Structure 1
Amino acid sequence: MKFSTRIQYLLFFGVVGGFFLSCDSEDKDNPSGSNPSNPVATIPIPEQGYVSPTSYDGMTLVWEDDFEGNSLDIANWSHETGRGDNGWGNNELQYYRSQNTSVERGHLIITAKEEAFGGSQYTSSRIVSMNKKQFRYGRVDIRAVMPRGQGLWPALWMLGSNFSEVGWPACGEIDIMEMVGGQGRENTVHGTVHWQNDGSHAEFGGSYKLQSGTLADQFHVFSIEWTANRITWYIDNNKYHEIDTTPAQLDEFRRSFFFIMNVAVGGNWPGSPDNSTVFPQHMIVDYIRVFQFD
């Protein structure tokens, strides 16, 4: 995500008083994120869209989550909950709850709602693979369909696994996919990296605009190929952005990273929802796959 990721992580994982803060008590009875009281069987899941290969020459599949079953696999993922510090560092408006995550019909569903909870007027979910699944180099494919509407801000991204030791942006950040909802922006995917350069935040990003339709109409596959020398971004296997990471100040990207999936509501980049925004909205993820080079 853009802006101050470090601030939001200091609240939850940064060393605050020498210990890690736990998730909020309202989620402790539901660690898996399943929500039987709020079935999502009526949520339409598109049948159309790009499907990525299950293998690549010179690579081996080392991990995948196809989101089978009826709850989030806690061996892979944890929830981050709450309002964060200063709206997760971005003036976001949502309260993250585990109840807004469901696993249904072989898909992960993160739902953003307009509802009052914990001092916020919106709720959503944010899951992380921190301390569970982390990787250095390879290809990542994530097949997903985005929500739509002014103020929605879905993201599929990564942070350096050494975050708790060095903070942000020194840990590095790889945004595999970000979309900004509303104002005709839902046809554009953004891929960005953030790092620390001479003690300051630096970033470099690119984007790709669909020839027709939006990222909410059908499934697309958002990918990166990551080596010790470069990171390359793809949508549906079409390359649209690349960065040379060989300079010494980009050493963050030669270390391990973990995954984050979330849907923010409001914030510095998308702005707030308005009367045109229809809730609930859903980000639907079919699978995540990690391949590494032989």
Structure 2
Amino acid sequence: MSPPPAESGYSLIWSDNFEGSAGSLPNQGKWKIVSAGPNPNNQEVQHYTTSTSNSSLSGSGVLQITPRHDGGQWTSARLEGLEAFNCPDGHRLLLQAELRTGTHPANQQSGIWPAFWALGNDIRNGKNVSWPQCGEWDIFENAHGNDWSLATLHYGRGGQDHLSKGSGQEHFQVESFHTWAIKVNRGPSNWQDETLEWYLDGNKFFQIKGSDIGDGELWGRVAHKSFFPILNVAVGSNFPGGGQPDGNTTTGLGSGLQVKYVAAYRSN
């Protein structure tokens, strides 16, 4: 179990390297383990549980999120970070995780939808802000056992005003662990030149500037406010290339998500 890597020019402000005994739940002092029924808005069919059969530690520093099909229904896990992080003016914020998706063949992962993402903290801190007004960073997201992820920013003024900007397919080797990250860069002296940047294994593959949003209030919500990390594996999705589980969709960690660490850094 190793700590998250040092990042030059940054200080580590929060992390979890999933240290703990094999089969135990993740640290509930850092994560809310969600209990919830299916979300039909996203065509999801899983029930999120707090059971160690769906989220547990490996004993060697890996979080394991495992979708299962028992008793005629799918179960899985969703972890929401209890802390949220913002990027002060003139600084940079980095939120990243090292993870590996399921290793079952793609034809055994129909409907499986793993993700590492973040929501604006205003959705839960009494500000009466709903989605997408709170903002959403999709840092890593794929489905169906595909070998690609999409970087996406969701934003808007609330209600039906849903806007989004996203990348093309960013391909990766499914069998390996990879580091996925988002960087908020508030170094520029005006919001139009500030950026959100997405990285795979340290290489930037997508960027959105404040001027791409073109609205200072909307940009402030997605780049100046605090966000909290989320890890989950949904079953059933409206994600591109996703869909519903079928008779070949296989239960177990081979359709799940393994995570070595999640870390937040702020520039010095």
Match of residue 176 from structure 1: 139
Q: CA deviation at 1:267?
A: 2.1
Match of residue 78 from structure 2: 126
Structure 1 residue runs of 4 or more that deviate by more than 6 Å after TM superposition: none
Point out where structure 2 has 5 or more consecutive residues left out of the alignment. Answer: 88-92, 187-193
Q: CA deviation at 1:54?
A: 1.8
Q: Give the one of 124, 139, 142 matched to 2:97.
A: 142
Query: Secondary structure, in 3 states, of the residue corresponding to 1:251?
Result: helix
Q: CA deviation at 1:198?
A: 8.3
What is the CA deviation profile of residues 137-172 of structure 1, one whole-angstrom value per residue up to 9, with x for unaligned ones?
311220000125111000111111111321111111
Distance in 1 between residues matched to 2:258 and 2:97, nearest whole Å: 11
Query: Secondary structure, in 3 states, of the residue corresponding to 2:151?
Result: strand
Note if 1:60 corresponds to 2:60: no
What is the CA deviation profile of residues 4-49 of structure 1, one whole-angstrom value per residue up to 9, with x for unaligned ones?
xxxxxxxxxxxxxxxxxxxxxxxxxxxxxxxxxxxxxxxxxxxxxx
Query: Secondary structure, in 3 states, of the residue corresponding to 1:289?
Result: strand
In structure 2, give the amino acid aligned to 1:151. G
Q: CA deviation at 1:53?
A: 7.6
Residues 52 and 221, structure 1, Cα contact 8 Å, conserved in 2: no
Q: CA deviation at 1:197?
A: 4.8
TM-score using structure 2 length? 0.80
Distance in 2 between residues matched to 1:107 and 1:268, nearest whole Å: 28
Distance in 2 between residues matched to 1:210 and 1:169, nearest whole Å: 27
Q: CA deviation at 1:208?
A: 4.0
Point out where structure 1 has 5 or more consecutive residues left out of the alignment. Answer: 1-50
Residues 64 and 290, structure 1, Cα contact 8 Å, conserved in 2: yes
Query: Secondary structure, in 3 states, of the residue corresponding to 2:27?
Result: coil
**Higher RCO (CA-CA < 8 Å; seq separation 6+):** 2
Distance in 2 between residues matched to 1:83 and 1:243, nearest whole Å: 34
Match of residue 49 from structure 2: 97
Query: Secondary structure, in 3 states, of the residue corresponding to 1:98?
Result: coil
Match of residue 207 from structure 2: 242
Q: Percent identity?
A: 31
Query: Secondary structure, in 3 states, of the residue corresponding to 2:246?
Result: coil
TM-score using structure 1 length? 0.73
Q: 1:207 to 1:286 in 2, by over 3 A?
A: farther
User: How many residues of Structure 1 are paired with residues of Structure 2 in the alignment?
Assistant: 231
Root-mean-square deviation (CA, aligned residues, Å) is 2.1
Query: Secondary structure, in 3 states, of the residue corresponding to 1:83?
Result: coil
